[in-house]
Structure 1
Amino acid sequence: MLNKINESSNAKRFLIQLYGRVQGVGFRPFIYRKAKEFKIYGSVSNSGGAVVIDFIGSIDNVKKFVMAIVKNPPDVVNIEKVQCSSMEYCTFYEFTIKESIKNRDSLRFLQPDLGICEECVKEVMDKKSKRYRYAFTNCTNCGPRYSIIKGLPYDRKNTMMDEFKMCSDCSEEYKNPYDRRFHAEPNCCARCGPKLTLLDRNGKEIDCYDAIYSAAELIKKGKIVAIKGIGGFHLVCDARNEQAIDNLRIRKRRPDKPLAVMMRNQSLIRKVCYVSERENSVLTSSKRPIVLLKIKAPKTIPKNIAPRQRRIGVMLPYTPLHYMLLESKLDIVVMTSGNISGAPIEYENSFALERLGSIADYFLINNRKIYVPIDDAVVKVFEGKEMLLRRGRGYAPYAKKLSIEKDMLALGAELKSSVCISTHGYVHTSQYLGDLKQMDCYRNYEYVTNHLIKILDVNPSICVQDMHPDYNTKLFAAEKKTEKIYIQHHHAHMVSCMAEHDLWRKVIAMVFDGTGYGKDGAVWGGEFLVGDRKMFERAGHFQYIKLQGGDRAAKEPWRCAASYLYSLKYPLHKFLKSIDKDKLNVVEAALDASINCHESSSLGRMFDAVSSLLGVVNYATYEGHGAIELENLMDETVRESYEYDICRNEDKFIIEYRHMFEQLLTDLEQKIVPEVIAAKFNNTITKASCDLAERLSEVYKIREVVLSGGVFQNEHLLASISKKLNSRGFNVTFNCLIPINDEGISFGQIVAADEIIKSGVKGDVFSSAGKN
């Protein structure tokens, strides 16, 4: 049979190169089996970041073979690009998986970490299985990827598993083409793989027969256990134990921010939360993110998990360890990032013991090293669409084809940082990297960025960065001897949405956030831009307010409230009775003398001001605290709003705040309940924004609107504005898989920079043409 095929004039030789999520996901074994099925001869190998098939076969069989691997690959495979060429004929007598080839010139894609598959779960729970209760069970369909990759191609020697030599049984699985662990690079078992160890906070090993079972017992007794997972440590306590949660909050200095929980199964989640079909599909996907769900039965969980919130972050188990932890003694646990608040997630055993020892009572560690730390992803479903709020495990890195020609590095924003790298026509986006004002976050930012540059084998010729003169991203850019392109913050937001949804024509963009450096040196944040990917005109904005306190204004919303009261000549003491009079006097004097003050159109700071005036949040303990609690406070049945004025100042429209604040303060004096005032304020922002969009549409003849910026994490505002504009005939688009907050900035920067380059601008440049 072999000779007949090889000698037949109908037999041809082809070389196929497949790019995308194709390595470390069982694709080569799948190709091997299809080759056997369709009588194809040759080889398959990893080459750089691609899978390469060199093969011969009859024309009919070749067609069936190619269709099977390209059109119907395994679910976890994502093919981005296929290159096929005919080759000079030669004879092959079998089909083999060859050693990987290191190729510098090929496209490269990194594979995200995947949650455990059902087959592996069954093995872990089966007493007859050799992997019964083994915490590192995985196969080609699941397990760690990005977090353990040191280099490409994705082979065991290029991962953190290289120090674990497979036993004979695991080696046999690895070599068997019909086993689902065929070429599963992290393959291991209890005989040859990583081990768990339970320690006290002083690093002393706890003598126990089963470390997971013992850890579960400790958690059930109210202890806090730091558990090392795929991308780093989690701090874990019993989510039904209010005192344990309080202890965690006190030790971590996280008094208010909601805590994520892990629940045993979907049935339990449905008892506590409302779960739509779309939300369920995201929860149960191989990515296994934290999903923000509406709370259905508040009394089933302690209030201090998500104080004053209508939603809770929920995830399902995604490693064997999680399934065993929640097997019997526990059914729901708090599982929050293992870090000191504001710092990056801890991922090395020694540093975790040192830095988390004041928070955790015990540590469940292992000896499988993590190469790239990565936190859990956070997602919500809005109007049936998956919206990514924090890119993390399962979602990072993210690659999107955009036909960008230059090799560039976009450095993102400072508070919710991320980076983007363009090469070979694709843009690769990193995970969430935190607040770069924190030195540990900045060091991690450097580490992850340099790792991505190295593993993607790219030498960026251009650094793209924000216009802000004091962002720490400039420190990183200064080390790169490259051309610099500067993109205005809100233009980057706008372009991030346009590029995600393939919009090219001019749009009206509402970009609402807390802080962004404006072209006039003021702090922008309530912006109406008109433009495209290359340039924009600032066509309107919320009226400037003189804010006192610099960066402290975001952390102390009462300063925002004081600034608005001062501008309207209202007595500060009358409306801010809970704030120390001496502090108010100091701020008033500083406003008189314009000391540490800045002009701002920030809608985020306006929400903070209202939050403080209503007595909701005077001191923010996490980013967006005031605005988030204000949204959760509002009575959504209220339809009234306050009056507002839109004036035209030279070439820009301005939404003025005087009338809305005067009426809001009157409501306060008349003892209208905060729930109603919060709703009226939100409704006012919606009406004013939509009315200004109408005016801009009349001037610019544009009916396409994009919504971006962190303020649009306010679900009510996003829904009300998009619904109202749609009803008026606008086509409305908002960020989904590119985060709508500052984490999406780097993506927008790199796309805007590409358009500037294509326009022929040379040297260090700023976006964009147009007016302030």
Structure 2
Amino acid sequence: MAERQTCSALSGLPQRERRRIEVRGIVQGVGFRPFVWRLAGRFGLAGFIRNASSGVVIEVEGEPDALERFEAALRSEAPPLSRIDSIDRSVIPPVEAEPGFVISESSVGEAMQTLISPDIATCPACLADIANPAGRRYRYAFTNCTDCGPRYTIVEAVPYDRPFTTMKHFALCSDCQREYDYSADRRFHAQPNACPACGPKLELCDANGVRIEVSDEITAAGELLASGKILAIKGIGGFHLAVDASNEEAVQRLRSRKGREEKPLAVMVRDLDAARALCEIAPEEEAALASPQAPIVLLRKRPELSLAPSIAPGNDRLGVMLPYSPLHWLLVREGPEVLVMTSANFSEEPLVADNAEALERLAGIADAFLMHDRPIARRCDDSVVMSMAGAVRLIRRSRGYAPAPIRLRASGPPVLGTGGELKNALCLVKGSEAFMSQHIGDMKNYEAYRHFDDVAAHLQSIFQTEAELLVHDLHPAYMTTRWALEQKRPTLGVQHHHAHLASCLAEHHYDGPAIGLTLDGTGYGTDGTVWGGEVLIGDAAGATRFASLEPMPLPGGDAAVRQVWRTALGWLHRSGVSPEGLECLRQPQSAQVLELFEKGVGTVESSSCGRLFDAIASICGVRHEARYEGQAAIELMQAAGGRIADAGYSFGFERKDNRWLMLISPMLRDIAAAVRAGARAGEVAQRFHRTLIGMFAEVVRMASHETGLKTVALSGGVFQNQLLTETLAHELESDGYQVLIHAQVPTNDGGISLGQAAIGREFLRGAYIGVDNG
């Protein structure tokens, strides 16, 4: 370079060079092109930038020193919502008489490589615009810029330009067009740019869908909420059902109409001060609340909570989120400052996203509808996070996170993991990236199936790839399994808990076998029984079932998941314990269930840790019937009051069928005796948690002694239990183990599709050996 500069100086002519730079990552819809335009102007460079199916393409020309500084700033000063994954640069011939640097039209037709940004919460600058009475966007519910607003939920195709979004229906007015075209403006090339003159508009309708003529829809909506009405609100990724969170009668009415008896409801609060008044908030939780992703954060309630008691009964946590769209921001200022905000659907149905669909499916639930005319291309529920074991961890990965990729350790062919039956989410792996879909939900009805099918097609479409392999759960009755087998493409069925283990390893870029402690409620085993308390040793290529919880009977199969007293009776019976004197015996039909045990019919075998929590909850009188998934386990953890006893109950190990059984019958006998002797539920819960921690720590030591492995992966829905997870992880780390815990994907079934896809890649390269039952 120095030699070339000398030659240039001798000739008296400034040296010029032209470079072609291809940037891959999240570089569309996040203000990247105007950023590059300004950068080129700062360094006096000519050329162009355009969106392309490969990301963005930049051709830039100028003196070599300026080009070097330009490239350095490209990385160090990139917009906050962008993410650069790779930069490829080549030197090309200069272009004569180029006037300056311009933003060119996007190109199409190339293989898809770019990343679509998730939907981003309204930025402070746009909130200031909305609050400014002198501004033209004062109180405008669809204000956005290149730093915020809808992205994934409005994208219909790529590249990310207005004609390929649902904003194509709204022609820019002259003022918005001027902003869009003016490089120094914050809305330069902001695809969802709009104002009251040209953009989407609100409409308030009554329960029958008839428009309510009002001077201001937001003010009128706020008044409806303050009067106790249930309002269906169309947001970024779908509708919410909202009520005043301080109105107990309104909350109860919402529960009754929606068919959501006791499952906790989330709230949206006006600001951080309002959140602090309700809950204790740690710094990392506050950062999550105020982040661009704006998820629901599970926070610890303050003792005297000034909200309706039925919002989160029997739970010391409250799901809290801040307003993430201008419409929400305005509503919590016009109406009650704390609103219940729950997904607008009937129990177990997909989120409602379309206006006509809302009027039909929410009839009889909502008293009024606050809608708008911007179509939602992709329905996307709110994400949920909680702080646990030193990090903020995803419980539900959806709005704000999907479809941002998870970086993988290595590249490989495209594979689609179809997920599980509950908390479903898909995962498409392509190259060295995994694209998790938004939360789809429980696959229990035709509407959920249609939603799943739509997301599967869209995911492959926007990333312009067709999966070479569809990976599904082993359970033959899962709708995801049926879907995969109907696609007439290569398929692979993988064991549920192996997918959990592979998911945790993939998220942590861990290459090599590990001890996988996988604990959940239900997973179809290779032997046809219900697994759920498993120690697997292996990696994505295969695993061995080193140990499992002692098998116990589930009377009535799925009925025992809801009527947890059935599980308690069955497990006591198997343990040789009489239920006399225990509440679980006093439940309706208990005599008939005991008769089934005596005859040895009507039960299935299970090693489920989730069901163990259910059994103990019923034995000690915490909960006998679960109104929502995991309720008994949650309330048992709550009963422990955040404390673990110094001494636990009895447990043991037995070698059988080439694997270890973790014997739980001794603890069941101890707990039944303790309850009969007058032990309170809190004491039982604290000692039960101590027992599990001791048993799991010991089985890890046994596995490590046999294999020499010192890495432990924790996965499965049971590890949403903060008390168990934090204490067990601390104990294992103190013993010198490396402990891997999910953070980027849920530890529950919402994360298994990543593991399925990782296993699928091993299958395609001929390395898959499956799960050895021991």
Normalization by structure 1: what TM-score? 0.96
Q: Is the 1:722–1:732 contact (alpha carbons within 8 Å) kept by the matching residues of 2? A: yes
Alignment partner, residue 764 of structure 1: none
Aligned residue identity for 2:531: W
Alignment partners' CA distance in 1, 2:79 and 2:110: 27
SS in 2 for 1:122: helix
Q: Is the 2:579–2:585 contact (alpha carbons within 8 Å) kept by the matching residues of 1? A: no
1:231/1:578 Cα in 2 relative to 1: closer, same or farther (>3 Å)? Answer: farther
Shift of 1:260: 0.4
Alignment partner, residue 730 of structure 1: 737
Alignment partner, residue 395 of structure 1: 401
- In the alignment, does 2:766 pair up with 1:768? no
Alignment partners' CA distance in 1, 2:114 and 2:438: 17
- In the alignment, does 2:375 pair up with 1:369? yes
Shift of 1:579: 4.7
Q: Is the 2:440–2:448 contact (alpha carbons within 8 Å) kept by the matching residues of 1? A: yes
Shift of 1:401: 3.1
Alignment partners' CA distance in 2, 1:431 and 1:489: 20
- In the alignment, does 2:540 pair up with 1:533? yes
1:372/1:49 Cα in 2 relative to 1: closer, same or farther (>3 Å)? Answer: farther
Give per-residue Cα distances to partners, 1:367-406, cap 9 Å, x unaligned.
1110100000000111331200001110101312323321
Give per-residue Cα distances to partners, 1:703-729, cap 9 Å, x unaligned.
111100001101101011101111111
Alignment partners' CA distance in 2, 1:495 and 1:577: 38
Q: Which moved more, 1:584-593 or 1:191-200?
A: 584-593
1:181/1:236 Cα in 2 relative to 1: closer, same or farther (>3 Å)? Answer: same
Alignment partners' CA distance in 1, 2:422 and 2:412: 29
Shift of 1:578: 7.0
Q: Is the 1:386–1:737 contact (alpha carbons within 8 Å) kept by the matching residues of 2? A: no
- In the alignment, does 2:565 pair up with 1:558? yes
- Choose which of 76, 81, 87 in structure 2 pairs with 1:76: 81
SS in 1 for 2:280: coil
Alignment partners' CA distance in 2, 1:579 and 1:477: 44
1:517/1:199 Cα in 2 relative to 1: closer, same or farther (>3 Å)? Answer: same
Alignment partners' CA distance in 1, 2:356 and 2:326: 23
Alignment partners' CA distance in 2, 1:707 and 1:477: 28
Alignment partner, residue 17 of structure 1: 22
Shift of 1:577: 5.3
Alignment partners' CA distance in 1, 2:12 and 2:155: 43
Alignment partners' CA distance in 2, 1:8 and 1:466: 67
SS in 1 for 2:167: coil
Alignment partners' CA distance in 1, 2:14 and 2:476: 68
1:769/1:570 Cα in 2 relative to 1: closer, same or farther (>3 Å)? Answer: closer
1:41/1:7 Cα in 2 relative to 1: closer, same or farther (>3 Å)? Answer: farther
- In the alignment, does 2:37 pair up with 1:32? yes
SS in 2 for 1:527: strand
Alignment partners' CA distance in 1, 2:12 and 2:238: 56
Shift of 1:580: 4.2
Shift of 1:486: 2.2
Alignment partner, residue 72 of structure 2: 67
Alignment partner, residue 5 of structure 2: none
Aligned residue identity for 1:116: T
1:636/1:276 Cα in 2 relative to 1: closer, same or farther (>3 Å)? Answer: closer
- In the alignment, does 2:451 pair up with 1:444? yes
Shift of 1:88: 2.5
- In the alignment, does 2:92 pair up with 1:87? yes
Aligned residue identity for 2:562: K
Alignment partner, residue 590 of structure 1: 596
Alignment partner, residue 228 of structure 2: 222
Alignment partners' CA distance in 2, 1:232 and 1:573: 51
Q: Is the 1:49–1:153 contact (alpha carbons within 8 Å) kept by the matching residues of 2? A: no
Q: Is the 1:173–1:179 contact (alpha carbons within 8 Å) kept by the matching residues of 2? A: yes
SS in 1 for 2:451: helix
Alignment partner, residue 153 of structure 2: 147
Q: How do residues 209-248 of structure 1 correspond to structure 2 at under 5 angstroms?
A: 209-248=215-254
Alignment partners' CA distance in 1, 2:689 and 2:344: 35
1:397/1:553 Cα in 2 relative to 1: closer, same or farther (>3 Å)? Answer: same
- Equivalent pairs, count: 763
Shift of 1:194: 0.8
Q: Is the 1:271–1:297 contact (alpha carbons within 8 Å) kept by the matching residues of 2? A: no
Shift of 1:673: 0.9
1:645/1:196 Cα in 2 relative to 1: closer, same or farther (>3 Å)? Answer: same
Alignment partner, residue 688 of structure 2: 681
Q: Is the 1:278–1:384 contact (alpha carbons within 8 Å) kept by the matching residues of 2? A: no
Alignment partners' CA distance in 1, 2:577 and 2:389: 41
Alignment partner, residue 436 of structure 2: 429
Q: Is the 2:584–2:621 contact (alpha carbons within 8 Å) kept by the matching residues of 1? A: no
Alignment partners' CA distance in 2, 1:414 and 1:85: 48
Alignment partner, residue 607 of structure 1: 613
Alignment partner, residue 277 of structure 1: 283
Aligned residue identity for 1:73: A
Shift of 1:694: 1.1
Q: Which moved more, 1:326-335 or 1:130-139?
A: 326-335
Q: Is the 1:635–1:676 contact (alpha carbons within 8 Å) kept by the matching residues of 2? A: no
Shift of 1:310: 1.0
1:7/1:520 Cα in 2 relative to 1: closer, same or farther (>3 Å)? Answer: farther
Shift of 1:355: 1.4
Q: Is the 2:495–2:771 contact (alpha carbons within 8 Å) kept by the matching residues of 1? A: no
Q: How do residues 621-640 of structure 1 correspond to structure 2 at under 5 angstroms?
A: 621-637=627-643, 638-640=645-647
Alignment partner, residue 702 of structure 2: 695
Q: Is the 2:122–2:144 contact (alpha carbons within 8 Å) kept by the matching residues of 1? A: yes
Alignment partners' CA distance in 2, 1:650 and 1:614: 33
SS in 2 for 1:29: helix
1:589/1:47 Cα in 2 relative to 1: closer, same or farther (>3 Å)? Answer: same
Shift of 1:639: 2.6
Q: How do residues 106-505 of structure 1 correspond to structure 2 at under 5 angstroms?
A: 106-402=112-408, 403-505=410-512
- Choose which of 42, 53, 62 in structure 2 pairs with 1:57: 62
Alignment partner, residue 663 of structure 2: 656
Shift of 1:730: 1.3
Q: Is the 1:107–1:424 contact (alpha carbons within 8 Å) kept by the matching residues of 2? A: no
SS in 2 for 1:300: coil
Alignment partners' CA distance in 2, 1:600 and 1:740: 21
Shift of 1:49: 4.7
Aligned residue identity for 1:556: Q
Give per-residue Cα distances to partners, 1:292-332, cap 9 Å, x unaligned.
11112433223211111111100111111111111154211
Query: What is the RMSD of the two structures over their aligned residues, measured on CA atoms?
Result: 1.8
Aligned residue identity for 1:409: L
Give per-residue Cα distances to partners, 1:636-677, cap 9 Å, x unaligned.
443331111112225311111121011100111112111111
Shift of 1:573: 6.1
Shift of 1:215: 0.7
SS in 2 for 1:668: helix
Give per-residue Cα distances to partners, 1:576-630, cap 9 Å, x unaligned.
457544x123322333344342111000011111112222222212111111111
Aligned residue identity for 2:658: D
Q: How do residues 94-109 of structure 1 correspond to structure 2 at under 5 angstroms?
A: 94-109=100-115
Alignment partners' CA distance in 1, 2:370 and 2:657: 63
- In the alignment, does 2:643 pair up with 1:641? no
Shift of 1:741: 0.4
Alignment partner, residue 743 of structure 1: 750
Shift of 1:22: 0.6
Alignment partners' CA distance in 2, 1:565 and 1:78: 54
1:661/1:7 Cα in 2 relative to 1: closer, same or farther (>3 Å)? Answer: farther
Alignment partners' CA distance in 1, 2:547 and 2:209: 58
Aligned residue identity for 2:739: V
Q: Is the 2:436–2:754 contact (alpha carbons within 8 Å) kept by the matching residues of 1? A: yes
Normalization by structure 2: what TM-score? 0.96
Aligned residue identity for 2:46: Y
Q: Is the 2:119–2:152 contact (alpha carbons within 8 Å) kept by the matching residues of 1? A: yes
